[in-house]
Amino acid sequence: MKQFLLKAFSVFFALLLFGMQTFAFSLKASSPITENEIQAVSAFDDAEIYDAFAGMADLDQYLATNTNKTYTDVSKENCALLNGVSATTSLPLSASSDQEALGIPSFLWGCVFGIIGLLVVYLMTDNNKEQTKKALYGCIVGTVVSVGLYVLIFAAAATTSTTNY
Amino acid sequence: MVKKIFLLTFLLLLFFKGNTQHSYRFTSEITLKAKSKTGEFQYTKGVVHYNLKNKKLLFNITFPQKEFYLAVDTLIYKFQNNKLLSVQNNPIKPEFSIFQFILNNDLSDFGLKNSSFSISNIEKNNGLIITKWSPPAIVNFPIGNILISTKDKRLQSVLIYNKKGILLSRQIYKDYNMVNGVGIPSEILSVSYLGNVKSYQVMKISHALINEQGNDADYDFQVGEVKK
């Protein structure tokens, strides 16, 4: 029993030491959270976002009670509700607003996968450049990262294959 | 005596493990509203099904048009009018989606815990825990710091910066509902700031169910089948 306890304590302290070293490494690489960053995190008026969609309130309400209506149905019944609303599910990336990014609607990229997909692909593919480019493209469509990455977007588009049936 | 204690502990562990309810199925209605920098609106509505076991993600879209998308591994299948319309490469697997994070209770750190980002600072401010995640030291890594705020262990907001410290994107997670012990945000607001022009997205998650019984075909949809 004594021997068992000794072994258990040894393993425990070894793990503790390992954990502390990891923590020490993290501290070494610490960077302060600035006042501006705290302000950006904590003081954000989301009314700005809701206001942006105020014009869609009627469509929202209509579709809540008419759950199976499509764009075509609504355009026949009350086309005023579709004022400024696109007939496709994709976000415009370029001049052509009806163009789906790689054939995949933006909601899949931006709200469902987002930046995490990019990071995971980056890690999982051992920095495989082609894979990372594709992931960056996916990330950008939804969350739109930076102008400079458009170069990568076109590179990715050129290397992606689509099979149509 | 010692043997009895070990045996009792083992049995207790087995008991608790056996009683643990694993979350493996997620379904909800989803509405996405987006406003692009050109001022055009997109409105997408449908139902999502995700199965943690086979990693299949099915979107049954009802608006703007009836279509559905099945994401499996690195492919996305698009069906329209009961026909397979296209197959698309998808570099991001369904297991990296928000639904996986919800089922695994990993949403609070935005999944960064399992990435190459590392925590560089933590602060408490007005009841919020603000965590700064710094990118890996890789040359030309495109993303800078990511700030995450949580309240009561629930993700509240995510701010993504570029390498120059300019804010690129902000996401806000609101109005959590508890479903089978899992916290699910009912609204995700998103703003992106490309080229000093804002574009907005609002995603609503409603009628969420965890471990739904029935509708098995939607959780294990076979590509060869025709969706009706």
- Give residue-wise pLDDT tens across range B123-151: 999 899 999 999 888 777 767 899 999 99
Write out the residue range of the structural domain in which residue B162 sits: 22-219
B-chain CB neighbours of A40 within 8 Å are 147, 159, 167, 170
Please check whether residue A62 touches B, CB under 8 A: no
Residues of A in contact with B171 (CB under 8 A): 114, 143
Measure B120 CA to nearest chain A CA, in Å. 4
Measured torsion, CA atoms of residues A81, A84, A90, A96, in degrees rounded to the nearest 10 = 150
The interface pTM score, or ipTM, of the predicted complex is 0.78
Contacts of B176 (CB under 8 A, 6+ apart): B154, B183, B184, B185, B186
Residue range A65-82: mean pLDDT, rounded = 90
Q: Which tokens in the block code for residue B44?
A: 């997408």
Which pLDDT score, from 0 to 100, does residue B191 have?
84
Please report whether residue B79 resides in a domain.
yes
Cα–Cα distance, A144 to A110 (Å, whole number) = 9
Total of domains in chain B: 1
CATH code of the domain in which B170 resides: 2.50.20.10
**Is residue B228 included in any domain, yes or no?**
no
Distance from CA of A13 to the nearest CA of B (A): 22
> Full-prediction pTM beyond 0.95?
no
Spatial distance between the Cα atoms of B120 and B29, rounded to a whole number of angstroms = 37
Q: How far apart are CA B81 and CA B179, in angstroms?
A: 34
Q: Find the residue in A nearest to B102 (Cα).
A: A112
Q: Is residue B127 part of a domain?
A: yes
Q: Å from B21 to nearest chain A CA?
A: 25
Rounded-to-integer distance, Cα A118 and Cα B69, Å? 20
CA geometry: angle at A37 spanning B143 and A135, to 5°? 20
Q: Are A82 and A58 in contact (CB under 8 A)?
A: no
For the cut 50, the answer to whether the pLDDT of residue A161 exceeds it is: no
Contact between A44 and B170 using a beta-carbon 8 Å cutoff: yes
In a domain, B7, yes or no: no
Across the interface, do A55 and B41 touch by the CB < 8 Å criterion?
yes
Rounded CA gap, B36 and A93, in Å? 9
Please report, for chain A, the start and end positions of each structural domain, with discontinuous segments joined by +. 44-85, 89-165
Q: Is B41 on the interface with A (CB under 8 A)?
A: yes
